[in-house]
Structure 1
Amino acid sequence: MPYLLLTLSALIWSGNFVISRAMNSVIPPAGFVFWRWVVALVVLLPIALPRLRREWPILRANLPLIGISGLFAVTLFNYLIYMAMHWTTAINAALVNSAIPIFIIMFARIFYGQRVMLRQHAGVFLSLVGVAAIILRGDPARILTLTFNRGDLLVLLAAIAWALYSVAIKRYPQGLNPFVFLFSMTVVGLVLLVPFYAWEISAGHHMTFNLPTVLSILYVGVLASVVAFTAWNHGLRRVGPHIGGQFVHLMPAFSTIMAVMFLGETLQGFHIAGIVLIFAGIICATYKVKA
């Protein structure tokens, strides 16, 4: 079940990346993040509020974790990614974002002394090769033509923020309802986001509310925020960040499949090779040898 939940998260977030790239010219980044999490808050409110008073002692005892989660996962990661889409390319963003599992392994080692087995290292490597095969379209020479800009630096910072959040989830408190946790970190993240949104509005960057923007915000607010985050948090708590982080590599694979299904793109050999390598890497990293 945890692997299925992590896979579901990657699938939903693949759609989120597609939408953020498509809408970056009409929805300013801070506004996108702000309204995304306002929608999530509205959805979570009737679920979390009845439990909030009962679980307040647990929340109060874990305020640092709530604060870190809200800062890294709600405010920084989303804002940096949406900002980056104004300058970087989809290829560069996917390449840099694929470093998340490596950062997770590094931080898990630093903060928890988490040892990573050889097969898990091999799994990460196989998945990275699969990601590169898809992004570089099967031609390694394409990497020589890539140019990097400030958008890529923002994606790198976002990857670090997400890795820190994923590692922090290891300290998830027993007895705390997952919707209460998500509700609480959403409140913190929105409060921290207000200065960014205020600056954006003062600079004259406004969002036009029409059907495409509303549907985009509903998708990222309900599915990419509530459903995917809840699934991701549960999956990480069950298998650990060093294994769960590997599922980030599924996003390029799912994006490829979505493009073939919904955009009429042609499935090519390098797509198949990349997808096979990504799944092989995940199986290698998650398979447990029975004694």
Structure 2
Amino acid sequence: MQNLPTLVGFSAILMWSALALLTAASGTMPPFQLSAICFLVGSMIGLGAMLRDPRRFSAFRQPAKVWALGLFGLFGYHFLYFTALRNAPAVEAGLIAYLWPLLIVVGSALLPGERLGWHHVVGALMGLAGTALILIRGAEGGFGGGSLIGYGAAGLCALTWSGYSLMSRRFGATPTDVIAGFCVISAVLSLVCHLILETTVWPETMSQWLAVIGLGLGPVGLAFYAWDYGVKKGDIQVLGVASYTAPLLSTLILVLFGHGKASIGIAVACLLITGGAFLAAKDLLRGRKPMKGKLSA
């Protein structure tokens, strides 16, 4: 049954929706330093659970291709995302980077036993339109400034996370415990990048420290475990479209905490995103069992 794993995967999307607010509240810490701390906290979640049953550490006995996948997904995505924000306006870079849900839905047709229906495609396009509306509503006249490096890195962001999610499905027999190892590697590599490229800046207040810890516990921690379980065991097409709720919820949270204003544009985006998600999930909602192929280790 895919319903429960799909809901677990959706919990990751809910946690990612708090990413913008927690990042804004974390102060001025450089991105790679922040990434290193968050990944360290995220690794402790998995390692702590595994200590209760040391036999679970056998999950780390994986072939090199599995570790390469974790490095490609977690560290690769964040490296490209930070590069995009350094070289292009945040709104435009974010719009390009958030093509990954659409790529997951379309790319899922390549998985064994999966079938891409018209409702998945239309739902994904509706979600993309709603996401674009949210991301560009504050932009000043389209693609302004930036460089091809920034826009290119943002495009690679979308390809990286969608590719990681789809490839994780192909490694469905790999236990989710291995995510703890992915976080450890990403923390080390982020630290190396920080020491080479950045100047260390520590949080100045307790609230900033709490925001940093919150990032590591949720959006840059537990969310990865939930997403891994969801894409391996749940309905990856529904999760791909449901991912469009992350920028919507993020915007609503920012408005709630006084970092933005509600508008007609937000309401229209809400209708597009939620409508697209329900359309893509119509088979699941009607109780039909989605086609499911064999997963390879």
Please report the TM-score for the alignment, with normalisation by the length of structure 2.
0.81
SS of residue in 1 equivalent to 2:243: helix
Cα displacement string for residues 47-105 of structure 1 (whole angstroms, at most 9, x for unaligned residues): 1234454551x542454223312x12321112322343334334213311221023224
Contact 1:10 1:248 in 2 (8 A): yes
SS of residue in 2 equivalent to 1:85: helix
Residue 188 of structure 1 aligns with an amino acid whose one-letter code is I
Cα displacement string for residues 22-68 of structure 1 (whole angstroms, at most 9, x for unaligned residues): 658x2222211111111222333221234454551x54245422331
1:67 alignment partner in structure 2: 68
Residue 245, structure 1, aligned to residue 247, structure 2: no
What are the equivalent positions in structure 2 for 1:69-108 lying under 5 Å apart? 69=70, 71-108=71-108
1:252 & 1:111 partners in 2: Cα distance? 27
Change over 3 Å in CA distance of 1:103–1:145 after alignment to 2: closer
SS of residue in 1 equivalent to 2:202: coil
Residue 214, structure 1, aligned to residue 217, structure 2: no
1:290 & 1:50 partners in 2: Cα distance? 37
Change over 3 Å in CA distance of 1:290–1:245 after alignment to 2: closer
5+ residue gaps in structure 1?
Answer: none
Residue 42, structure 1, aligned to residue 44, structure 2: yes
Residue 135, structure 1, aligned to residue 130, structure 2: no
1:196 & 1:51 partners in 2: Cα distance? 33
Higher mean displacement: 26-35 or 167-176: 167-176
2:119 alignment partner in structure 1: 119
1:276 & 1:191 partners in 2: Cα distance? 41
Match of 2:275 among 272, 280, 288: 280
Cα displacement string for residues 180-222 of structure 1 (whole angstroms, at most 9, x for unaligned residues): 2221222232344454233125xxx112243354223201111
1:259 & 1:189 partners in 2: Cα distance? 28
Q: CA RMSD in A?
A: 3.0
Change over 3 Å in CA distance of 1:121–1:55 after alignment to 2: same
1:15 alignment partner in structure 2: 18
Is the helix fraction higher in 1 or 2? 1
Residue 198, structure 1, aligned to residue 195, structure 2: yes
Match of 1:234 among 229, 235, 239: 229
Contact 1:243 1:286 in 2 (8 A): yes
Residue 188, structure 1, aligned to residue 185, structure 2: yes
Higher mean displacement: 32-41 or 7-16: 7-16
Report how far residue 272 of structure 1 moved: 0.7
Change over 3 Å in CA distance of 1:27–1:84 after alignment to 2: farther
5+ residue gaps in structure 2?
Answer: 289-297
Count residues with an aligned counterpart.
281
SS of residue in 1 equivalent to 2:244: helix
1:163 alignment partner in structure 2: 162
Match of 1:29 among 21, 31, 40: 31
Higher mean displacement: 144-153 or 35-44: 144-153
Residue 69 of structure 2 aligns with an amino acid whose one-letter code is I
1:90 & 1:111 partners in 2: Cα distance? 33
Contact 1:7 1:250 in 2 (8 A): no
SS of residue in 2 equivalent to 1:30: helix
1:2 & 1:257 partners in 2: Cα distance? 26
Report how far residue 263 of structure 1 moved: 0.9
Change over 3 Å in CA distance of 1:229–1:290 after alignment to 2: closer
Residue 184 of structure 2 aligns with an amino acid whose one-letter code is V
Change over 3 Å in CA distance of 1:147–1:136 after alignment to 2: same
Please report the TM-score for the alignment, with normalisation by the length of structure 1.
0.82
1:8 & 1:74 partners in 2: Cα distance? 18
Contact 2:10 2:230 in 1 (8 A): no
